[in-house]
Amino acid sequence: MYCQNCGAKNADVATSCINCGKNMRFASEMNSDSSPYATFWKRFTALGFDTLIVFVFSFIYGISTGILSLFITLPISDLTLDLIAVAISAFYYIWFESSAYQGTPGKQIVGIKVTDIEGNRISFARSFLRYFLKLITGVFLIGYLTIIFTEKKQGIYDMAAKTVVVYR
């Protein structure tokens, strides 16, 4: 059976996880084939929450810079302001997924987290790589569609960054 905490494969009769030590006393009552990996729809729902959160912050940022520009001339271009907004959005995903939370607020709401293949918290560098690859492979949706068909429910970016998204 799989550990619901870290995703490690354990013996069907295990009482604690061999990887993280979590008590698995009640896990044996579950179907041993139940997957610890988050489904496409769970991840899609989390993305919806995160998009809403980032939109609200972007809206506040846009309104505040717009109001500020009414009173003073900003010494930076609109393109620079847009790049700052993109950087804030990227930092949101990268920081939360590499933090002790192991997931964005959207992922936390739906009860999933990002780990490496062994179930450990990912580094900021790995989270950056994952985010960058998600942008590239997401252009044609192929990066996301592989989640449906792979055993560990990984997007192409997850496979390249050696990460998985598991239930908390």
In terms of domains, do 95 and 150 share one?
yes
Neighbours of 49 (CB within 10 A): 16
What's the maximum distance between 2 C-alpha atoms anywhere in the chain? Answer: 68
DSSP letter, residue 20: T
Does one domain contain both 5 and 63? Answer: no
Residue count (the chain) = 168
Pair 113, 80 in one domain: yes
Q: Are residues 100 and 57 in the same domain?
A: yes
Same domain assignment for residues 25 and 71 = no
Q: φ, ψ for residue 102 (rounded to 5)?
A: 60, 25
Q: Answer yes or no: do 23 and 72 share one domain.
A: no
Tokens 């949101």 locate to 92
pTM over 0.85: no
Judgement on whether residues 23 and 45 belong to the same structural domain of the protein: no
Place 103 in a pLDDT band, splitting at 50, 70 and 90: very high
**SS3 state at 115:** strand
The verdict on 64 and 82 lying in the same domain is: yes
What SS3 state is found at 13?
A: coil
First-to-final CA distance of the chain: 16
Same domain, 13 and 48: no
Parent domain of 29? 1-36
Is 11 in the same domain as 90? no
Q: Are residues 120 and 150 in the same domain?
A: yes
* Mean per-residue pLDDT, 65-90: 84
CA angle 168, 42, 149 (to 5 degrees): 105
Residues 162, 144 within the same domain: yes
In the chain, DSSP finds a helix count (H) and a strand count (E) of: 6, 2
Radius of gyration, CA atoms only, the chain = 19
Tokens of 160: 């390249």
pLDDT at 58: 87
Q: Give the number of domains in the chain.
A: 2
On the question of pLDDT at 32 being above 70, the answer is no
